[in-house]
Amino acid sequence: MALSLEDLVGRSLVFGLRGPDATDADIQLFRDTGAGGIMLYRRNFEGPERLARLLTRLEDALGRRIVVTTDHEGGRIIMLGAGVTIFPDNLAVGAGGDVPMVRRQGLIEGRELRRLGVDVSFGPVLDVLTERYSPNIGIRSYGKDPARVSSYGAARIRGLQEAGLSACAKHFPGKGHAPVDAHLGLPTIESDWAEMDAVHIAPFRAAIGAGVDCVMTSHPVYPKLDPAPATFSRLIVEEHLRGRLGHGGVVVSDDLEMGAVRDVCPIGEAAVRAAAAGHDLLLVCHTEPAQRSAHAALVEACRSGALSPAVFERSLERVEGMQRRRSTRFHGGPARPEPGGEALARAMAARGACLVAPPPRGWQPRLNGRVAAVFPRLSSLADRITIEPLMLDEAGFLARAMERFGVVPEVEVVGVEPTQAEIERAATLARGADASLLFLYDAHLFPSNRALLDALQQASPALAVALMRDPYDAEFLRPGVAAVTAYGWRACQLEAVIARILAP
C-alpha cells in the first residue's frame, strides 16, 4: 500500500522522545508525522525491561517497525548503561589495542545492543585528530594516525555488523580538527580536498570497504570544499560520499537541533536543505516543536516542487533494505552483558593506560605511609552522562581499587569544577600526606581544575596525577610529578591507571 506524502516524508525523520515511556503524545507525534525512527538517550533508559516496554508500545500502537538508534561509541558516550559492557574510550583503544580486539569489541557490543532492541549504533567515530586541539572529538577518536583509525574503525564495523547491528561511521568528511564543538556553534575547518582525502576521509573509505551500513555527516563549514555547511552540501554528500567513494548505504545527518545548525537557519529550512543534499535519515532529537516544524517544511517543499517525492522514495528503499536484515526487534534473549566483555574491556584499558611522567625517586616507600587521593564528584554528572553504578560512590570505588595494592587512601571528593574551599581542603590533605594522587578532570578546559592541580603540585611532598580525559593537561605538570593518562574515566580505565601508578 502506497504511503501518503506526509508518511513518505516522515519516514526520513528520526526523533528523540522526552522520557522512559512511550506516552500518548509521543504516539500521536509519530502518527501525525509518520516518523521513521527513534533516537534513544539516557532520558529514555531506566533499565532494559522499561526500554522494551517503550519500544513495544510504540511499535504496537503504530502497527509498523521503526528504526531504533542510539549513540554507543564506548567510553564516555554510552546512552544505554545496563545490559552492556562499558568499553574504554577510542583513544585508549587506539593507544594500546589491536585489530582483533577491536573487532571482538564490536561483536560484543552488537550482540548486547540487539538484545536491547537497537537496530543502529551511531558509531564508530572515525574522525582523525591532528596537532590542533579538538574540543569535542578528543578521546572519542582512535588517534592521529589515519591508517590506525581506518583499520580499527573497519574492524569495529565488521564486528558490529556480524552481530546483526548496523554501524554508522561518523562524522563525514571528518572533524577531528574542528575548533568549535558543533553542539554549541558552527565550526569552520580550513582543510582543502588534498588534506581531507589524505587524512580525514581515509577512514571513511575503509569503512565503506568494510560494508558499513550507514555514514553520518558533520555540521562544520569546509570553505575550501564548499561554502555551505557539510550537512547542506550536495557536493560533499551526494557527489563525494556517494559518487567518488561509492557509499550505497544510508546517509544520516547529525542532530539538526545542534547549535551549529541554529547558527545558520531555522529547523524547517535545515531539514529541507539536508534532504536536498542527499541524506536518507534526518535527526531531530529533542523538542516536539522542532520535530513538527521539520516535518511540515519537508511536506511543503515536496508540494511546492522544491523537493521531489522521489528523493524520499529512494531513501526509504535504502533504509528498508538495511532493516530487512533484522526480522525481530529483540534478538539473542534477555538483555545482559556478553560473556568475556568485561575481561576484554579491562585488557584494552590496561594496554591503553600510558605513562606520561615516571614516579619520583622514593615513590614506592611513600605508599606505605599516609596517602591522599583527590577525585572529582562524577556522580554529579549522572543526570546527563551515564555513570557506572560502582562509580557513584567515588570514595568507595577508590578505596577498593587502591586497597588491592595494599594502599589505604584518605579520599577527598571535589566538584567536577572544584570550589576554592574544596581546593584548599585538598591541598591541606596533600600537605600532610606522604604521597598524593590527583585524578584530574580537564585542567585545560576548567580553570578551577588548573587551580586544583597547581595547589597540589605546590603542597604535595610527592604527587602522581591521573589525566582522566584528554592528555593535553600534561603541559601543566611540573618536573618530578608522576602522570599517567587514562584517555577516559570509565572504571576499567581508572583501575588501569591506578595499577600503573601504584605498581609501576
Q: Is 254 a catalytic residue?
A: yes
Does residue 400 contact residue 335 with C-beta atoms inside 8 Å?
Answer: no
- Long-range pairs for 140-144 at CB < 8 Å and ≥24 separation? 140/73, 140/75, 140/76, 140/77, 140/89, 140/90, 140/91, 141/90, 141/91, 141/94, 141/176, 142/90, 142/91, 142/93, 142/94, 143/91, 143/94, 143/95
Nearest to 116 by CA among 160, 165, 157: 165
Nearest to 476 by CA among 467, 488, 489, 486: 467
Cβ-proximal residues to 450 (8 Å cutoff; 6+ apart), any chain? 443, 444, 476
Q: Which amino acid would we find at residue 61? A: A
Q: Is 197 a catalytic residue?
A: no
The region that residue 240 occupies, defined by phi over 0 for left and psi between -120 and 50 for alpha, beta otherwise, is alpha
- Integer-rounded Cα radius of gyration of the chain: 24
Q: Which of 183, 197, 263, 454 is catalytic?
A: 183
Q: Which of 254, 280, 442, 473 is catalytic?
A: 254
Alpha helices, H only, 99-179:
99-115, 146-162
Q: 175 by DSSP, 3-state: which? A: coil
Q: What is the dihedral of CA 66, 61, 53, 16, to 10 degrees?
A: 50
Determine the Cα–Cα distance for residues 129 and 471; give it in Å rounded to an integer: 12
Strand order across the beta sheet in which 282-284 lies: 250-252, 214-217, 166-172, 120-121, 67-70, 37-40, 13-16, 282-284
Determine the Cα–Cα distance for residues 29 and 293; give it in Å rounded to an integer: 12
Q: Is the peptide bond before 171 cis (omega within 30 degrees of 0)?
A: yes
Nearest to 151 by CA among 100, 87, 78, 226: 100
Determine the Cα–Cα distance for residues 243 and 259; give it in Å rounded to an integer: 29
Active site residues: 183, 254
